[in-house]
Amino acid sequence: MSFLSDTAIARLCEAAAWPGFESGFTVTGVAGRGGSATVYVARDEALHREVAIKVVDVPDRDGRAAARLAREALILARLDHPGIVPVHAQGVLPDGRAYYVMKLVRGRPLDRAAAELQALPDRLALFARILDTVAFAHAQGIVHRDLKPANILVGGWGDVYVMDWGAAQADTVAEHERVVAGTPGFMAPEQERGEMVDERADIFALGTILKGLAGADAPPAVLAVADKASAAEPAARYARIADVADELNRFRDGLPPSAYREPAAERLLRLYRRYELPVLLVLAYVLMRAGLLLWIGY
Amino acid sequence: MAFPPTRLSVVARTRSDDEETRRVAFAALVEAYWKPIYKYLRLQWHLDPDQAADATQDFFVSALEKDLIARYDPARARFRTYLRLCVDGYQSNQVKAGRRLKRGGGASLVSLDFTTAEGELRQREPSVPADVDELFYREWVRALFDRAVGELRERAESRGRRAMFEVFERYDLADPAAGRPSYAEIAGSLGLTPATVTNHLAAMRREFRALVLDHLREVTGSEEEWEAEARRLLGGGW
Ligand SMILES: Nc1ncnc2c1ncn2[C@@H]1O[C@H](COP(=O)(O)OP(=O)(O)OP(=O)(O)O)[C@@H](O)[C@H]1O
């Protein structure tokens, strides 16, 4: 027996983990790894397309990992939206590992994709698509609970996918099936304390994401929206995602978001930008009146 | 698909009431751990080959005498770490006592092929992990995989499926530096169809996986530890 080098062992680890389907799919690569599962790239032999397959790494004795995966697939199946990957199938490998098949997303995580978008309006347009996706889930009674840039994939066409619904809380899911999850830095304080959360926990995470996306030199009006969304107290945040979207739309249209108290000079400047001609007319009028007064007084 | 029998944790078995069960379990433990311990004594304690061989055997004898395995507490450390710390304790006592070992103290336990182990040490990559736990871990995994590959070969041969193992050997076991043959190349050289190569490889990988997970049970101290080690090995952590 020849000696197993470290690289030989690495290859054997991969060989032992490589999912072998009896038929239907040929696994061709690894798309990414999670805490207890790996996402593989595979060819769907019947439909001649590439798919992503999430496979539990090791079946545990009480089946927690498989149950969590199945639950995630069910939630994905319920969320039929262009920003959420569709599930095609789910099953168990001959060696006992649970898996589900989904659309393969060819994209990059949000932080890397955003680095290439220079203009603020482009970044805000991207953020609006994230808002729309999460708002859709909220309307179905599902809170994501682990929103962060690494869980958001941006495709080549600017398409946006909110991934990793494994930690989601669904109002139809029994209490004991709820998973404790979240990522420090993006997790709302009430979630960190292990309390029951609602949509506002996601709004907190979205506020944090917006702050990162807008950048340090973002306009104060945008930062005010981000700050309000990620307020420590849930009651101080926006109650619904639609409110966040409205605020950003106001900003885009040159109106002040309600979360932002505008200094007078900035207000004049904004009004000037928005209503260039009318503002000039008003100014001209004011000046004319002033001149008239002076003249009369003289 | 012939799956290997499910093994019990060696720790559980060394605590059995049945003397024979205990004896077999201890032999399995020695088999799984002697190489990592020998290499650990060579690399970490800088013993020369003869000293390390003697110390390895003597360590197992003293482990039996002191009932070290039964005293393992899963709540405090992984079994692998516990055993390594026991080796450290053993060896620092030896050094303190200035003791020189008599040769072959525990040679009758299992016949240990120190010459091979020494040869492997000379072949090892120049990078020795800085962290002692990592060093021991790597040797431990190497021993585990060595045994799983050996058993896979034996099982294939005993079933008259030598060709199946050969596919695995050429695709997954061949020296990674030499590059990987394609399925078609393997099919050509073994006189098989590419579809058969695909099926053989999948079957061998599945059996190899089962063997690794099974042997892993033997060398871990609890179900939780088994799960954590399995996840690290098969979840891209090696
Ligand atoms: N449909 C997909 N297409 C392409 N890549 C994907 C897809 N799904 C997941 N990935 C990649 O795989 C990685 C891991 O997937 P995922 O986020 O679902 O795992 P995880 O939830 O972190 O795992 P766990 O649930 O065990 O913690 C992701 O970071 C992502 O890059």
Q: Is the CB of A32 inside a 6 Å radius of any atom of ligand 1?
A: yes
What kind and span of H or E run contains A211? helix A199-214
A146 is catalytic: yes
CA distances from A3 to A163, B42, B125, B155, B236 (A): 42, 18, 11, 20, 21
Residue B1 has pLDDT above 90, yes or no: no
Residue of A nearest to B211 (CA): A16
Best of A1, A2, A4, A22 to substitute, by most chain B Cβ atoms within 10 angstroms, is: A4
Q: Which of B141, B107, B3 is nearest to A5 (CA)?
A: B141
Count other C-beta atoms under 10 Å from residue B29's C-beta: 23
Say yes or no for a CB contact (<8 Å) between A13 and B230.
Answer: no
Last residue of a domain, one of A103, A133, A149: A103
Contacts of B79 (CB under 8 A, 6+ apart): B11, B72, B219, B220, B221, B222, B225
**CA-A109 nearest atom, ligand 1:** 31
Separation of alpha carbons B123 and B225, rounded Å: 30
Chain B neighbors of A2, CB-CB under 8 A: 175
A259 is a domain residue: no
Instruction: Verify that A112 and A98 share a domain, yes or no.
Output: no
Torsion angle defined by CA atoms of residues B7, B12, B15 and B21, in that order, rounded to the nearest 10 degrees = 0
Instruction: Verify that A18 and A152 share a domain, yes or no.
Output: no
Say yes or no for a CB contact (<8 Å) between A4 and B146.
Answer: yes
Instruction: Verify that A113 and A217 share a domain, yes or no.
Output: yes
Instruction: Verify that A112 and A245 share a domain, yes or no.
Output: yes
Q: How much distance in Å is there from the Cα of A225 to the middle of ligand 1? A: 30
**CA-A38 nearest atom, ligand 1:** 14
Question: What is the share, in percent, of chain A residues with pLDDT greater than 90?
Answer: 61
Say yes or no for a CB contact (<8 Å) between B125 and A1.
Answer: no
pLDDT of residue A90: 94
What are the tens digits of pLDDT across the range B65-92? 888 888 888 888 889 999 999 999 999 9
What are the tens digits of pLDDT across the range A107-128? 999 989 988 888 899 999 999 9
Instruction: Verify that A243 and A281 share a domain, yes or no.
Output: no
A262 is a domain residue: no
Name the pLDDT band for B163 (thresholds 50, 70, 90).
very high
Instruction: Give strand ranges (E) for chain A.
Output: 25-33, 37-44, 49-56, 87-92, 98-103, 107-109, 142-143, 152-155, 160-162, 169-170
Chain B neighbors of A14, CB-CB under 8 A: 236
User: How many residue contacts between A and B have a Cβ separation below 8 Å?
Assistant: 87
DSSP string for residues in A94-156: TTS-EEEEEEPP-EEEHHHHHHT--SHHHHHHHHHHHHHHHHHHHHTTEE-----GGGEEEET
Residue A176 has pLDDT above 70, yes or no: no
Residue of B nearest to A16 (CA): B209
Assign residue A23 the CATH number of its domain: 3.30.200.20
A1 is a domain residue: no
Instruction: Verify that A71 and A84 share a domain, yes or no.
Output: yes
What are the tens digits of pLDDT across the range A237-272? 999 999 999 999 999 998 888 888 888 888 888 888
Domain limits at A154? 108-252
Instruction: Verify that A223 and A118 share a domain, yes or no.
Output: yes
Q: Is the CB of A102 inside a 6 Å radius of any atom of ligand 1?
A: yes
Instruction: Verify that A146 and A204 share a domain, yes or no.
Output: yes
Last residue of a domain, one of A56, A88, A103: A103
> How far is the alpha carbon of B139 from chain A, nearest alpha carbon, in Å?
9
Q: Which amino acid does the sequence have at A187? A: M
Residue of A nearest to B235 (CA): A57
Residue B5 has pLDDT above 70, yes or no: no
What are the tens digits of pLDDT across the range B190-212? 999 999 999 999 999 999 999 99
A174 is a domain residue: yes
Say yes or no for a CB contact (<8 Å) between B146 and A5.
Answer: no
- Asked casually if ipTM beats, i.e. exceeds, 0.95, the reply is no
pLDDT of residue B125: 54
The shortest CB-CB distance from A12 to any of B172, B206, B223 is to B172
Instruction: Verify that A49 and A180 share a domain, yes or no.
Output: no
CA distances from A153 to A33, A139, B54 (A): 14, 22, 57
Chain A neighbors of B119, CB-CB under 8 A: 3
Instruction: Verify that A116 and A148 share a domain, yes or no.
Output: yes
Name the pLDDT band for A290 (thresholds 50, 70, 90).
confident
A4 touches chain B (CB under 8 A): yes
Assign residue A224 the CATH number of its domain: 1.10.510.10
A195 is a domain residue: yes
A257 is a domain residue: no
A50, A53, A54, A69: residue to mutate for ligand 1 pocket, most atoms within 8 A of CB: A54
Instruction: Verify that A184 and A201 share a domain, yes or no.
Output: yes
A62 touches chain B (CB under 8 A): no
A26 is a domain residue: yes
Q: Which of A6, A146, A164, A217 is catalytic?
A: A146
Q: Is the CB of A69 inside a 6 Å radius of any atom of ligand 1?
A: no
pLDDT of residue B2: 41
The number of CA neighbours under 13 Å toward the Cβ of A258 is: 8
Q: Whose CA is nearest to atom 9 of ligand 1?
A: A39
Which position has the token pair 């290499």? B39
Which position has the token pair 């009431």? B17
A297 touches chain B (CB under 8 A): no
Contacts of B119 (CB under 8 A, 6+ apart): A3
Structural domains of chain A, count: 3
Instruction: Verify that A201 and A219 share a domain, yes or no.
Output: yes
Residues B101/B60, Cβ–Cβ less than 8 Å: no
Name the pLDDT band for B135 (thresholds 50, 70, 90).
confident
Say yes or no for a CB contact (<8 Å) between B205 and A5.
Answer: no
Q: Is the CB of A170 inside a 6 Å radius of any atom of ligand 1?
A: no
A142 is a domain residue: yes
Residue of A nearest to B118 (CA): A3
